[in-house]
Structure 1
Amino acid sequence: MTEHTTPTTPQEDATRAAEIPTSSSSAPGGTAAGTTKAKPASGATLPPGGKAKAVPGDKKPYGAILAAIAIILALLLAAALYMYGARQAKTQNALNQQLQSRVEALQQTQQQQQQQSQAALQQQGLALGAAQQLAATQARQLDELRDKVATISGSDANTWLLAQADFLVKQAGRKLWNDQDIVTAGALLKSADASLADMNDPSLMNVRRAITEDIAALSGVSQVDFDGIILKVNQLSNQVDNLRLADNDSDESPMDSDGGSELSGSVREWRQNLSKSWHNFMNDFITIRRRDTSAEPLLAPNQDIYLRENIRSRLLIAAQAVPRHQNEVYRQSLESVSTWVRAYFDADDANTRAFLAELDDLGQQNITMDVPAQLSSQPLLEKLVQTRVRNLLAQPSAATADAPAATPAGQGE
């Protein structure tokens, strides 16, 4: 690079050469780039034409370049900072918009939830109101029932004793006619009379007199030991295996025997022996026996098991007929057993005689009792209960008549 200057005088050149050119440039860090002093050589002369050559040690043009570079770098840095800031601002705006949209969505969701909660609260309020109204109605009905019970128990407490006596008399009738239990029926009648005695009401003397007559009538009924009869029948069933069968083939020979039918040992009498043998053969071909007693039924071999089981079944039927008071079934079963034992078993055996004696004794037992057809105290007590108890329960209380009709749930609003 060559700098063109205007021609000067020699004095001005000497003065300029004597000056120390100073070039300072500010580095980006704020320090001096450097200072260069150029001294003209001794005896130096200007070239012809008055032009001076450039000194190689002169740094002034480089300082300007560095300053320009520094300015450019500063501008680039400023532009970069501006772009970074703009980008950051744009990102921040996008984030703000997203946050704002989320906030709006949350607000809408919260509003919807609030609306739903309010609707649910309103429904719960309606249901709570209906439940409160129903509870109030039930409480009022309970109070009415308590008042009715208090009225019954407070004003006429003896009514409960009368109802209890009626129940006991009816239970006595059931035990008497269904089970024929005289003892339990009498105990129930005595309990009913005690309940009427606790009432201390002179108007009940005729009822108590009827109960006393019923108790006396039951006391005169003969008692039958049903359990003892059943035990005896079961004991006979256990003794069936001890019975011995009758032997019907004890006599198999003809009652009329011919003594002249014996064969002789002589050879000469062979004709007589042949005739006798022929007659004996023809006489034994068909055998006729004569008996003085009635014919007994024959029993096939190994059939006594079925006979004994049939006897046990008949005894079981008789035992079951005792608690049911089936007198005809009881007697028919025992008669069948007695007939079979006498027909098929040995009547001379001791076990058979004892068995038949027990059967005859049980056949004479009466398993039915002559119980009264009705209790004279039962219709009297039933009439009293109809008059005093049921009419009292059927009367509506004043609170029930004045109470408004209950409003159905959900229709009060």
Structure 2
Amino acid sequence: MTEHTTPTIPQDDATRKADSPHASTPLSGDAEPRPAAPSRPAGGKIPPAGNGKPGKTAGGRRPLALILAALALVIAVLLAIGVYIAARQQAHQQEAARAQLQASLDELNQAQQTQRQQYQESLAAQRQALDAARAQQAAQGRELEDLQNKLTAITGTNANTWLLSQADFLVKMAGRKLWSDRDVVTAGALLKSADASLAQMNDPSLTEARRAITEDIGTLAGVSQIDFDGIILKLNQLTNQVDNLRLADNDSDESPMDSDSGELSGSIQEWRQNLSKSWHNFMNDFITVRRRDTGAEPLLAPNQDVYLRENIRARLLVAAQSVPRHQNEIYQQSLDSVSTWVRAYFNADDANTRAFLSQLDALGQEDITMNLPDSLQSQPLLDKLMQTRVRNLLAQPAAPAAQGE
């Protein structure tokens, strides 16, 4: 450190400064420290300082050390204040970061709690749906087991129930074929199949039902069999022969009742006879009297035979349609109309007309009605057997299913 030279100061100032030991020289960045002035004596006079020349004081190094110590202390205090302020700011920043982190953590926990709650609710709903599905599956399983037990009871333990059900079905089908389709042959075959099913059961209690089926078969065998298809084919053949019929000749003129000659004479002397003949010939053009020994034939224009033939075909078609429906009255009325028209408008002496009328009369002798029985004796008996043996068995609960429940 460079040593500074203290300038010479007056004695009074030095004495005054020395008297005030607590006085200190103000410090600044550019100012240099000054040594303390010697204290003034009690008499008010400043004692001479040696030889009167300026010089170093005895304690010249001590104020500088104090100044440096004070400066160091101030710097330390400032540093401590700065460190405290920095630590305070850092503490505030850490507290804000901690608060923000805590808020994020709270939000995350809240979100996790919400998700956990939703998951638990969804899991509870799925468990409820699973429990309902399991309950439904268990109920369906019990129903299926019940049906299987019933089926086993029907098929395994009592196979004759199937034969009885089959016989009942065949008898009902026989009734439908008999009354709906008028098919006696098929109805009889169905009844025979029903009797064969009952015979396989080998059950003496079914004797009454089999006797009723046998009586029904005998009743159907006594029904008259009519060839309905053959009748329809014959009617269609007559329809095709209508065009071969020849109309009757109604234009033949017979001689008048009087046989006198109507020719005029060439003699002048017979003018009276000629005048009378001319008068009669003139009057004959207005009124003509002819003798008819047979019935009057209807007049038909030559261009109207087409309508007549179409009407005959229409009546034959109606007769053919009434055959499968067993409408005997309509069938007979149609054939009678055709026979009347053919005899009235067509030549009865022609060979085609005679053959046509012969076939028509033969068809008119056919009776298309069927005397079918009103009911089958075996049907109510089989219904009673089905009620007592099959339907009651199906209505009873199965024993294994009841024990499982």
Give the alignment's TM-score, normalised by structure 1: 0.67
| Structure 1: stretches of 5+ with no match in the other structure | 1-100, 405-413
Shift of 1:364: 0.6
* Distance in 2 (alpha carbons) for counterparts of 1:261 and 1:119: 131
Aligned residues: 310
Cα distance change, pair 102–243 in 1 and its aligned pair in 2 (3 A):
farther
Post-superposition offset of 1:206: 2.6
Aligned equivalents of 1:357, 1:288: Cα separation in 2 = 36
Contact kept, 8 Å, 1:254 with 1:287, in 2: the verdict is no
- Which residue pairs with 1:196 in the alignment? 198
Counterparts of residues 25-64 of structure 1 (less than 5 Å) = none
Once the 2 structures are TM-superposed, how far is the Cα of residue 162 of structure 1 from its aligned partner?
Answer: 0.8
Aligned partner of 1:282 in structure 2 is 283
Structure 1 residues 350-365: aligned runs within 5 Å: 350-365=351-366
| Offset, 1:293 | 0.7
Q: 1:151 to 1:257 in 2, by over 3 A?
A: same
Counterpart AA for 1:145? L
**Kindly tell me: are residues 287 and 103 of structure 1, through their superposed partners in 2, closer, same or farther at Cα, counting changes over 3 Å?**
farther
Aligned residue identity for 2:379? Q
The answer as to whether partners of 2:246 and 2:353 remain within 8 angstroms in 1 is yes
In the TM superposition, residue 105 of structure 1 has moved relative to its aligned partner by 9.4
SS class of match (2:337): helix
Q: Could you say which residue in structure 2 is the equivalent of 1:261?
A: 262
Distance of 1:187 and 1:241 partners within structure 2:
44
Aligned-pair distance for 1:114? 6.4
How much does 1:367 deviate?
1.1
Matched-pair contact (CA < 8 Å) for 1:165–1:195: yes
Residues 207 and 380 of structure 1 are in contact (CA less than 8 Å); yes or no, is this contact kept in structure 2?
yes
* Whole-angstrom CA distance in 2 between matches of 1:262 and 1:316: 56
Q: Aligned in 2, Cα 1:117/1:300: closer, same or farther, shift over 3 Å?
A: farther
Shift of 1:267: 4.5
Deviates more, 1:158-167 or 1:169-178: 169-178
* Matching of residues 6-405 of structure 1 within 5 Å: 116=118, 118-251=120-253, 253-267=254-268, 269-398=270-399
Stretch deviating more after TM superposition (374-383 or 291-300)? 374-383
Shift of 1:180: 2.4
- Secondary structure of the corresponding residue to residue 285 of structure 2: helix
Deviation at 1:356, TM superposition (A): 0.6
Higher relative contact order (CA 8 A, sep 6+): 1
- Superposed CA offset, 1:110-169 (max 9, x none): 876666555444433322221221111111111111112212223322112111111111
**What is the CA–CA distance in structure 2 between the aligned matches of 1:196 and 1:182, rounded to whole Å?**
21
Query: Which residue identity lines up with residue 157 of structure 1 in the other structure?
Result: A
Instruction: Supply the AA of the counterpart residue of 1:230.
Output: I
Q: Does the CA-based 8 Å contact 2:248-2:346 persist in structure 1? A: yes
Q: 1:143 to 1:260 in 2, by over 3 A?
A: closer
User: Is this contact kept in 1: 2:212–2:377, CA < 8 A?
Assistant: yes
Kindly state the Cα deviation for residue 360 of structure 1 after the two structures are TM-superposed. 0.6
Which segment is superposed worse, 217-226 or 116-125?
116-125
State the shift of 1:380 in Å.
2.1
Letter of the 2:319 partner, please give it.
A
| Worse-matched range after superposition: 370-379 or 297-306 | 370-379
Q: Please give the alpha-carbon distance, in whole angstroms, between the structure 1 residues aligned to 2:107 and 2:268.
A: 150
Amino acid at match of 2:185: V
State the Cα deviation string for residues 211-232 of structure 1 (Å, max 9, x = none).
2232233233331111111111
One-letter identity of the residue aligned with 1:389: V
Inter-partner Cα distance in structure 2 for 1:105 and 1:228: 99
User: Which digits, 9 at most, give the CA deviation of each residue in 1:222-279, with x for residues without a partner?
Assistant: 311111111111111111111111121112x443244343211234544542332123
- Cα distance in 2 between the residues matched to 1:304 and 1:102: 112
What letter matches 1:191 in structure 2? S
**Alpha-carbon distance change, 237 to 106 in structure 1, aligned in 2, over 3 angstroms:** farther
- 1:76 aligned partner: none
**Normalised by the size of structure 2, how large is the TM-score?**
0.68
Question: Contact 1:326/1:367 (CA < 8 Å) preserved in 2?
Answer: yes
Within 2, Cα distance between the matches of 1:352 and 1:106?
A: 113
Q: Distance in 2 between matches of 1:105 and 1:333?
A: 101
1: CA distance, partners of 2:204 / 2:259:
101
Q: Is the 8 A contact 2:245 2:352 kept in 1?
A: yes
Q: Which moved more, 1:167-176 or 1:355-364?
A: 167-176
Q: Give the deviation of 1:375 after TM superposition.
A: 2.5
Quick one: percent identity of the two aligned structures? 71
Q: Aligned equivalents of 2:152 and 2:104: distance in 1?
A: 69
Query: CA-atom RMSD, angstroms?
Result: 3.2
Whether the 8 Å contact between 1:254 and 1:288 is mirrored in structure 2 is no
Distance of aligned partners of 1:282 and 1:189 in 2 relative to their CA distance in 1, 3 Å threshold: same
Could you tell me which amino acid in structure 1 is paired with residue 257 of structure 2? D
Cα distance in 2, alignment partners of residues 262 and 272 from structure 1: 10
CA distance in 1, matches of 2:106, 2:288: 131
- Change in CA separation of 1:111 and 1:269 when aligned onto 2, cut-off 3 Å: farther
> How far apart are residue 209 of structure 1 and its match?
2.7
- Render the CA deviation track for 1:79-122: whole Å, top value 9, x for unaligned: xxxxxxxxxxxxxxxxxxxxxx9999999888766665554444
